[in-house]
Amino acid sequence: MTPIALPMLMVATLALAAVAGPWLIRRAAPAFVRVPRVAVALLGASLVLWVLALAALGPLLAWLTTGPMLLPTGAGEVCQRCLDAASPFGGLAPLHTGVPTVFLLVLPALGLLALALTAGRWARLQRQRARRTCRALMTGAHHTRIAGHVVTLVPDERPVVFALPRRRCGIVISTAAMDLLDDAELAAVLAHEDAHLRQRHHLIATLITSLARPLRLIPLAAAITDAVPHYLEIAADDAARSRVSTPALASALLKLGEPAIQAPVAEVLHAAGPSRVGHLVGATTGRLGLPAATLLGAMAVALAVLGALIYLPYLAALATGCL
């Protein structure tokens, strides 16, 4: 591979993933609904790998270019020695530019740090909102056991069933939902919410949503943010119908209708939504969606390989004592 080919390939892969990724996610839906937990893992990994590959552009260009020396002489010599030790283009004369090499190394690191801090702040806001929601719900509510599950029963005329993180209110059900659902339907929706808690869906949703939110202008990040909650609900549906029955869960979803309480998915996961009934009663079979899912996986692998081609030489140089 020629020196210029690698950065061109990196930019092309990043742009293609950012623009074509949402289309692949939509086309892969029939395959993803059959393995929703795998779908969530692939979507989350794709987002992380895309971010890391984008940050790798700086260290890659640091091998190929040179510019004004901003570091003190000693520090500059050490930095250059590490660059030379890591670079796979050792015999190539770098292109002289007006961009200091240290910027190409420091700015991506600062970008990743800023993204991590922003994601952490959003995650904290989510936790605070969950605490406030739980405190508000507990006014007039009490804990009880229904169908083998510890739940928070709230007096509310709206038929709602949802889950907050276990350390907050856990499974929440309204008195109206208790009146609306029969015993089998009630067991089904409680099993659905229990699956959210057992499979740590709140943590998964918080991590992915927090990382994607600062990148929401990128089509891939926006599509992943929209898709992950859907597949978490389907994963909980699958767990519930394996423990109770598909007809009971489908009937309960139809009765509950659309969620009566709207909130970020990382905070509230609902056992509602008639749009999922089609999956329950007429699951897709065959290879529909498999080509798109395969291409999405190949895209994630390509991002991982390209990132490894850049990060691993730097790590190897540091490990062998370039300092």
Question: What percent of the chain clears pLDDT 90, i.e. is strictly above it?
Answer: 40
* The pLDDT value given to residue 286: 60
3-class SS string, the chain: CCCCHHHHHHHHHHHHHHHHHHHHHHHCHHHHCCCHHHHHHHHHHHHHHHHHHHHHHHHHHHHHEECCCCCCHHHHHHHHHHHHHHCCCCCCCCEECCCCHHHHHHHHHHHHHHHHHHHHHHHHHHHHHHHHHHHHHCCCCEEEEECCEEEEEECCCCCCEEECCCCCCCEEEEHHHHHHCCHHHHHHHHHHHHHHHHCCHHHHHHHHHHHHHHHCCCHHHHHHHHHHHHHHHHHHHHHHHHHCCHHHHHHHHHHHCCCCCCCCCCCCEECCCHHHHHHHHCCCCCCCCHHHHHHHHHHHHHHHHHHHHHHHHHHHHHHCCCC
Q: What is the pLDDT of residues 92-113, one digit of tens each?
A: 666 777 777 778 888 999 999 9
Confidence class for position 316, pLDDT limits 50, 70, 90: confident
Dist. CA 233–CA 258, nearest whole Å: 13
Average the pLDDT over 232-255 and give the result: 88
Higher pLDDT, 163 or 74: 163
Residue 83: what pLDDT?
74
Parse the chain into domains and list their residue ranges.
Answer: 5-91+100-319
180-204 pLDDT per residue, tens: 999 999 999 999 999 999 999 989 9
Tens digits of residue pLDDT in 46-69: 999 999 999 999 988 888 877 556
Q: What is the CA radius of gyration of the chain?
A: 25
pLDDT exceeds cutoff 50 at 148 = yes
The reported pLDDT for the residue numbered 136 is 78
**Both tokens of residue 84?**
């030379």
More confident residue, 207 or 258: 207
Give the amino acid at 208.
Answer: I
Residue 19 has pLDDT above 50, yes or no: yes
Q: How confident is the model at residue 318 (pLDDT cuts 50, 70, 90)?
A: confident
The pLDDT of residue 265 is 41
pLDDT at 168 (0 to 100): 72
The confidence score (pLDDT) of residue 269 equals: 62
The answer to whether residues 160 and 172 touch, using CB atoms and an 8 Å cutoff, is yes
User: In degrees, to the nearest 5, what angle opens at C-alpha 267 toward C-alphas 261 and 272?
Assistant: 45
**Is 249 within 8 Å of 241 (Cβ atoms)?**
yes
Give residue-wise pLDDT tens across range 260-308: 554 444 455 655 555 677 777 665 556 788 999 999 999 999 999 999 9
Q: How confident is the model at residue 158 (pLDDT cuts 50, 70, 90)?
A: confident
